[in-house]
Structures are given as structure tokens and as C-alpha cells.
Chains A and B, each alone.
Chain A
Amino acid sequence: MSQENFRKLKRVFAREFAATLVALALIALVKAGLIGLVPW
């Protein structure tokens, strides 16, 4: 894999990792009872 492609892949990975952090933050809010039962 070229250096350029690897850099791109790392950027994609960082974005995916950021999404995971947002999800964990949401989970923490649910656990803390700050988000009640979200209506669907």
C-alpha cells in the first residue's frame, strides 16, 4: 500500500474511532440516567 493510501486509511480510521467515542458518550449519558427512554 502506498504511503498516500495509508494516510487516507488512517484518516478514515480516525473518523470511525470518533464515531465510537460519540457512541460511548451517548452510552454514558444513558447510564447516568440523563437520557431517559428515547421515544421511537
Chain B
Amino acid sequence: MTNATETLSAPARAGANHHLAGLAVLGGVVLLAKVAHLLAPQVPAIVYALGLGMLAGLEARKHRVRVALPHQLPLMLGFVLMGAQVQQGVFHQVGLEGLGLLGVWVAATLVLFWAASRLRLLPRRVAALFALGQAGFGVSAVVAAGARDPGLAGTPQTLATLLILLTGAIGLVTYPFAAPWLGLDEAGFATLAAVSIANNAEAIATAGTMGAGAALGAAALKVAINAFEGVALVSFLRGRGADRGGRPRRWHDAIPRIPGYVLGFSLVAGLSLAGAFDGTERASLANLTHWAFFIALAGVGFRTRLDLLARVGWRPLAVGIAIWLFSAGALLAWLVTTT
């Protein structure tokens, strides 16, 4: 009897320890990343979170430590809270031209990655996830899709996260030098950064190198594209479901197919559009969103399997970067010739 109880409770105890260890590691990585960001604020905070998380993950796997960091709750919290930033004024500020450029970027990204998968330059799943991230929805969308669809976790998610990070880093380092040389003004620079850099933080930080006006312009464009993140995810998951021949049988079967955080995001965005939040409240919620994504991305970094790269090779990333260079170059050429 005693033996039986022990064998039953041992895994439960191990599970509790496991969660505590995960929380402790996550807390450590978050703290280190925040300190690093305070010391060198030129690099966006989430880059520290992802990078330090990845290093910790590599170390843990080297020593065969198996912990999972609780990153899903903060990710979904951040996603829902992001709804509070959706305002009508933003769409006016971005204007029809800004929205049009965003639309063209999304369409071009989808077409290019679809072509790459047809030409067998990229596996289908990897191409789909690359397209979702690089269309402008970033790591949060990639991870949210992975949480819903286990077929995307692992290699495709690792590759897509790395591609977003790498292209963001290239933009952050090269755009500030290229812009004055090509004669881009603040508005053009903000558009270049916000449309071609997938993650919000990196896009706004890059635009911020030219001044507060450019950073604000980029932030408005990013809010506009984030407003469509829910729609993008639902279409993406539907497409993946259709790929595997799944179809809801009854109407209530369809509800869980729309992720709960997308419903939450829409609800909060609706409240925001109805005027539920004033400036201070919106700022508070924006900071809470920052924290939620910051904590989530430390956990995402931790589970990003850099060791898988050795097995998969750099080719998919090289293809992804080449496609991005092409689209970003085309966008830059358009902005330079029209301004």
C-alpha cells in the first residue's frame, strides 16, 4: 500500500518541482534580460529576453536538465491586452497609403513564400510559418500558432523565430545608415521599419533611431497591423486544418477553432474602439503588454531548439533571408522614389 502511494505521488511531486524550477529559471532569465536592457537600451528588450532564453535553453539541454518554462499564459495575456491599443485614430494616422503598403507587403510575403514552397526551396510547414511571421505578425503569432498546432512546434517554430530575429537585427543595424544616405524622411523611415520588420519592438526601436516622430509613426503602423493578427491567425489555422482534411461537424465544434485569445483580443479591441480606455489607462495596459510579451519571449527563447539547426542546416534560413532582402529592397526602392 505504502509502495503504491509512493509510486503514485512521486511523479506528482516531480511535476510540482518541475513547475517551480521552470518558474525560477524564467524569473532568472527575465531579471537578467531586464538588467541588460537597462544597461544597453539601444537593443530592444525582447531581443535580450529571446537571446538569454536561448542561451539558458542550450545550457539546460547540454546538462540534460528538463524543465519547461511557463510562457503560454503571459503570451496569451499579452495578446489579449494588445487589443487595448486598437483605436480609430490610429487608422486615420496611418492613412490609406500606409494601409495599402501593409496590404501589399502581406500579399507579397504570402506569394513569395508560397512560391518557395512550390519550388521545394522550403518545406511546406516552414514556408507557412515564415510567411505568418514575416508578414508582420512576428514571434507572438508564430508561437501562438505553434501552441494550437503541435505539427508546427519544434523545427518550424525554431526556424521562424530565428528568421524574425535575424531579419530584425539586419534592419536594426543597416536601416539607420541607409536612410539618410538615400534621403528618406521621418515618415518614409517609419514606414520602412514598421512594414518590413516583423516584431513590434524591433520595428519601433529601429524607427526610433531617427527620432521620436518616426518611432510614433512606426508604432501607429504596428498597431494597425496588430489589429489584423487575430484574423491572420484564424485564417492560418483554418488553412492548416483544411490541409489535413479536418472540418467541423456541428456549429459548436467550430468555436474552439477560433483561439480563445483571439476572441479575447477582439473583445478588448471592441471595448477600446468604444472608448473604454483613457490615455493613462491605455499607457498602463501597454506597459502590462510589454511585460507579458517580455516574460513570454524569455520562455520562447528557452524552448527554441538551436541544436536542431545543426540537423536541419542553414538553408531554410538562407532562403527566408533572401526573400526578406528582396521584399525589403523593393519596399525601400518604392519609398525612395515616391518621397
Interface residues of A (CB under 8 A from B): 1, 6, 9-10, 12-20, 22-24, 26-27, 30-31, 35-40
Contact mask B245-279 → A, CB, 8 Å, 1/0?
01110000101110111011001100100001100
Q: How far is the CA of A1 from the CA of B260 in the complex (A)?
A: 19
B127 at the interface (CB under 8 A from A): no
Q: How far is the CA of A15 from the CA of B72 in the complex (A)?
A: 9
Give the distance to chain B from A35, nearest Cβ to Cβ, in Å.
6
Give the distance to chain B from A23, nearest Cβ to Cβ, in Å.
4
* Interface window among B74-82, B131-139, B190-198: B74-82
Kindly list chain A residues whose C-beta atoms are within 8 Å of the C-beta of B84: 27
Q: Are B291 and A38 in contact (CB under 8 A)?
A: yes
Kindly list chain A residues whose C-beta atoms are within 8 Å of the C-beta of B283: 37
Kindly list chain A residues whose C-beta atoms are within 8 Å of the C-beta of B287: 37-40
Give the distance to chain B from A38, nearest Cβ to Cβ, in Å.
4
- Can you list 7 residue pairs at the A/B interface with Cβ under 8 Å? A17-B264, A19-B77, A30-B288, A31-B281, A37-B283, A38-B284, A39-B287
In the complex, residue of chain A having the shortest beta-carbon distance to the beta carbon of B288: A38
**Chain B interfacial residues counted at CB < 8 A:** 36
Instruction: Using A18-B260, A19-B77, A26-B288 as known contacts, list a sample of 6 further A-B pairs with CB atoms less than 8 Å apart, ordered by residue number in A.
Output: A1-B248, A1-B253, A16-B261, A20-B260, A20-B263, A38-B287
Q: Are A13 and B81 in contact (CB under 8 A)?
A: no
B290 at the interface (CB under 8 A from A): yes
Give the distance to chain B from A1, nearest Cβ to Cβ, in Å.
5
In the complex, residue of chain B having the shortest beta-carbon distance to the beta carbon of A5: B246
Give the distance to chain A from B239, nearest Cβ to Cβ, in Å.
16
In the complex, residue of chain B having the shortest beta-carbon distance to the beta carbon of A26: B288
Q: How far is the CA of A36 from the CA of B247 in the complex (A)?
A: 46
In the complex, residue of chain B having the shortest beta-carbon distance to the beta carbon of A1: B246
B231 at the interface (CB under 8 A from A): no
| Contacts known (A19-B73, A19-B77, A40-B287); A12 close to B261, Cβ less than 8 A | no
